[in-house]
Amino acid sequence: MAFSPALSRLIDAFRILPGVGAKSAQRMAFHLLQNEREGGVYLAESIQTAVASIRHCRECRMFAEAELCEICRNEQRDASRVCVVESPADVMAIEQNTNFQGRYFVLMGHLSPIDGIGPEQLGLDVLRERLASGPVEELILAVGATVEGEATAQYIAELARQNDASVTRIAHGVPVGGELEYVDAGTLSQAFSGRRPL
Amino acid sequence: MAFSPALSRLIDAFRILPGVGAKSAQRMAFHLLQNEREGGVYLAESIQTAVASIRHCRECRMFAEAELCEICRNEQRDASRVCVVESPADVMAIEQNTNFQGRYFVLMGHLSPIDGIGPEQLGLDVLRERLASGPVEELILAVGATVEGEATAQYIAELARQNDASVTRIAHGVPVGGELEYVDAGTLSQAFSGRRPL
């Protein structure tokens, strides 16, 4: 016995979502059909609208419905400071938790030659142009402290230097509120070598 | 700064899915827009098709696209044995792992007066009719071993007795391959009181 075709297809379709395996997909399909038919219709329409209308900001590659995103349209934001991040979620995190008033550049990933992600896929030509044409004084790297993030940071730092922009990198170290004994080796060693005078 | 309207709406819509909170919803939306636009369109269409075409089988309440589900349409299946389960997933589990050749009745939940789920919401009037009209000899209860499942089982057992059908319940006890010391108290006590002569 198998599920009816429409149900099998629905369960299968849910598996495109990240972190959703066979069991969760089945659970989602049942929940939707049993308790959330209206919600399901809303979800379907939201996906269709989003896929049709959301593209990348011409300047910073953030998701946007217009040609420029809200931040790049905002003349109040300091165009001389550009923060480079890996994902739109990082932009949101920085906006919500810091008082950074500059602009962004969203890589939408990090260098990963093995997956075919090179400088072009990260839009680094767009960034190069921005560095060459605009008055970028400081490029702030806020990419992940992973091996790929590191490689990406090095590549972008080189790009910035070629265009006479100074490059900084957000601090990596012991999290605020973190206890030393629970911090992993890499973070602790990073924190030690990055110590600053009080 | 907030996400663009279509993106906010998409993130919001993903939260109707079970087990999806704010972070996962955001991750799903980004993943879909970044890597799975075609998959997203497929998912949206699958939801719309499913919501429009899937209803409940007239006889057993299983999800079905026709008036009767595949099992109820199958004349080879023994109509004198009916297994009562809480969800469509349970039907699939029994079909895949046992050689039960009877039919099913899917409650789509369990008695839970506090949530407004009474006998009517579980379709027990449909079950009563089936017991009264058909040649049901054995009603097999395969509902969960929870407090609500217990109450539901008692209610249905009474219904079956009124209609001269014998009632059985699937065994609850130590899982096969399970070690005694890791089994919880309730299961062990259930296994003990349910011991059988070898």
CB B83 within 8 A of CB B143: no
Contacts of A121 in chain B (CB under 8 A): none
Residue of B nearest to A109 (CA): B34
Place of tokens 């006590």: B189
Name the segment(s) of chain B with CATH classification 3.40.1360.10: 76-169
DSSP conformation class of A12:
H
b (16+ CB within 10 A) / e for A50-76: bbeebebbebbbbbbbeeebbbbeeee
A19 with B41: Cβ contact below 8 A: no
pLDDT the model gives residue B175: 85
Angle subtended at Cα A39 by Cα A38 and Cα A44, rounded to the nearest 5 degrees: 100
CB B9 within 8 A of CB B29: no
Q: Which CATH number fits domain B76-169: 1.10.4030.10, 3.40.640.10, 3.30.1370.10, 3.40.1360.10?
A: 3.40.1360.10
pLDDT the model gives residue A1: 63
B46 with A12: Cβ contact below 8 A: yes
pLDDT the model gives residue B66: 92
Q: Give the largest CA-CA distance in chain A.
A: 70
b (16+ CB within 10 A) / e for B142-167: bbbeeebbeebbebbbebbeebebeb
CATH topology of domain A5-53: Helicase, Ruva Protein; domain 3 (1.10.8)
pLDDT at B1 over 70: no
Give the residue ranges of chain A where pLDDT is below 70. 1
Of A27, A43, A51, the CB nearest to B13: A43
pLDDT the model gives residue B128: 92
Q: Is A77-169 in CATH node 3.40.1360.10?
A: yes
B26 with A89: Cβ contact below 8 A: yes
- CA dist A176 and A173 (Å) reads 9
Residue of B nearest to A77 (CA): B1
pLDDT the model gives residue B193: 82
pLDDT at B134 over 80: no
